[in-house]
Amino acid sequence: MKTCSICGVSKDNASKFYLNTRYGSNLCNKHYLQMKTHGKITDDTPPDDNDKRIFWTKAEEEKLLNLVLKSTHYKEISKILNKSVNAINSKVNSLKIDTSEIYKNNPKYKAIYQNYDWCYQKYIIEGLNHDEMALEAGCEKRVVEKWCCERHRLTQEYRKIHKQLSDKQKDLIIGSMLGDGHIDRREDQPMFIVVHAENQKDYLYYKYELLKDFCNIPPTRIEATYREFNSKMYLCQPTYRICTRIHDCFLDYRNKTYKYLLGLMNEYSFCIWMLDDACRSNSNWQLCIAEYTEEDVATALYILKNKFNLSVKQEKDKRYLRFNADSSRLIDKIILRNIPNELDIIKYKITENNLCEKQKFLYIQYKNKTYKLFELCNYLDLNYKYVWGRLNKGFTIDDIVNKKVVNV
């Protein structure tokens, strides 16, 4: 029997159940939504009884159909069948019963779109459009538009002003702004936009799933084009583009300096930044900072060293930062515990990248201190290969240093 990996509730007792999710193993609806919204589990207890899957017998379905055909109010049906109004509405929709004519002249009937909370949840929180809401409510689009906009005053302008980002979405925006994303600079059109190449399609759709309630349409595909670089033309692979709706909450991040964004960076947004702008060789991570000012670079180095305990330095080509091998392995671990491991970008940058194993060092005791052999050779200005050869022949480091070694 399949159970939630967090609370242990079985698939049969959950209202919804997700198998092999992007956030890990099997999850019930409660903990799937926590991971999707917050990026972590905030409550590991099982779902409440009212969140459990509701089973309908054939007899109950037939009784429901008869009651609906008699224009019985959903509240009365709820009492008769001992099920919630939402459960009844869902079952009516799943049975594809057209209630528009049945309840048309019933003064007691209140359709779901007449409920302000339902409209607010679907339009503001979940970001559905009127077509999607009408499909879910089993009515015409114009009916939803009337109730949502005219009666409830839940307009696009209201959503533009009042809809807010979740914590996980904020972290995604911060990481993307440090990396490949940007916010439209037109004064009255703050839209978040990010583009990734076709070999990072999974990664882009992962971002889209997190920002879906801010988008009207899925990512759009842009066909391959030729671009000029150093007076030569190159064929660039197709790309995919996310463009959100206009929302005032994006203004909090538009026109902010890299220094400011770096100050907001946490472990998750660091992962997004690295995946956007860094490349991974089989030994090291290298991060592009071409657009950063000297002050931005200094801030980045300070935060990476002090907040994430990473050994990093700016290369001779000042457009790049390079992390040493140990820090690169630490970055791998940070990314793998924060980002779904099955994404294309994770595979070719980390899990399927034929990474070098951790280097093994020979440690030497000298004057009551322990040194790596190559460090001691550098310190004493000795030839590493010469010292290594003599040590293999049984000489001690003191013999070598005191020049008691004879050529054999």
Q: For position 404, what pLDDT does the model report?
A: 46
Extract the runs of DSSP E, i.e. beta strands, from 3-76. 17-18, 27-28
As a whole number, mean pLDDT of residues 250-259 equals: 93
Amino acid letter, residue 210: L
Q: How many CB atoms lie within 10 A of CB 9?
A: 22
pLDDT tens for residues 331-381?
A: 999 999 999 999 999 999 999 988 877 777 788 888 888 888 888 888 888
| Maximum separation of any 2 CA atoms in the chain, in Å | 110
Phi, psi of 3 (to 5 degrees): -130, 160
As a whole number, mean pLDDT of residues 111-132 equals: 90
Q: For position 317, what pLDDT does the model report?
A: 93
Extract the runs of DSSP E, i.e. beta strands, from 257-392. 278-280, 285-288, 312-314, 320-323, 363-366, 369-372
Q: Which are the contacts of 213, defined by CB distance < 8 A and separation ≥ 6?
A: 125, 126, 127, 163
Return the structure tokens found at 215.
């988008």
Residue with the bigger pLDDT between 233 and 320: it is 320
Alpha-carbon torsion angle 291, 294, 295, 296, nearest 10: 30
Alpha-carbon distance of 42 to 223, in angstroms, equals 41
Query: 24 with 15: CB under 8 angstroms?
Result: no
pLDDT tens for residues 220-232?
A: 999 988 777 777 7
Q: Which are the contacts of 131, defined by CB distance < 8 A and separation ≥ 6?
A: 141
Inform me whether the pLDDT recorded for 13 exceeds 70.
no
Inform me whether the pLDDT recorded for 406 exceeds 60.
no
Q: Which of 139-153, 251-265, 364-378 has the lowest mean pLDDT?
A: 364-378
Alpha-carbon distance of 64 to 229, in angstroms, equals 67
pLDDT tens for residues 34-92?
A: 777 667 777 777 766 545 556 788 888 888 888 888 778 777 888 888 887 778 877 88
Q: Which are the contacts of 57, defined by CB distance < 8 A and separation ≥ 6?
A: none
Share of the chain above pLDDT 70, in %: 91
Query: 11 with 1: CB under 8 angstroms?
Result: yes
Alpha-carbon distance of 302 to 312, in angstroms, equals 10
Phi, psi of 136 (to 5 degrees): -70, -35
Return the structure tokens found at 351.
């899990």
Alpha-carbon distance of 134 to 131, in angstroms, equals 5
Share of the chain above pLDDT 90, in %: 50
Q: For position 50, what pLDDT does the model report?
A: 47
Query: 123 with 159: CB under 8 angstroms?
Result: yes
| Res. 190 pLDDT band, cuts 50 70 90 | very high
The pTM of the full predicted model, rounded to 2 decimals, is 0.67
Burial (CB < 10 A; 0-12, 13-18, 19+), residue 256, is middle
As a whole number, mean pLDDT of residues 12-19 equals: 71
Amino acid letter, residue 235: L
Cα Rg for the chain, rounded, in angstroms? 30
Q: For position 100, what pLDDT does the model report?
A: 64
Q: Which are the contacts of 309, defined by CB distance < 8 A and separation ≥ 6?
A: 330
Q: With CA atoms as reference, report the closest residue to 33 among 57, 15, 49.
A: 15
Inform me whether the pLDDT recorded for 108 exceeds 70.
no
Helices marked H in 312-372: 325-338, 344-346
pLDDT tens for residues 382-404?
A: 888 888 888 888 888 888 887 64
Q: For position 408, what pLDDT does the model report?
A: 35
As a whole number, mean pLDDT of residues 101-130 equals: 81
Q: With CA atoms as reference, report the closest residue to 326 among 301, 340, 309, 350.
A: 309
Q: Vertex 47, ends 44 and 52: CA angle to 5°?
A: 155
Q: Which of 47-51, 95-99, 256-260, 318-322 has the lowest mean pLDDT?
A: 47-51
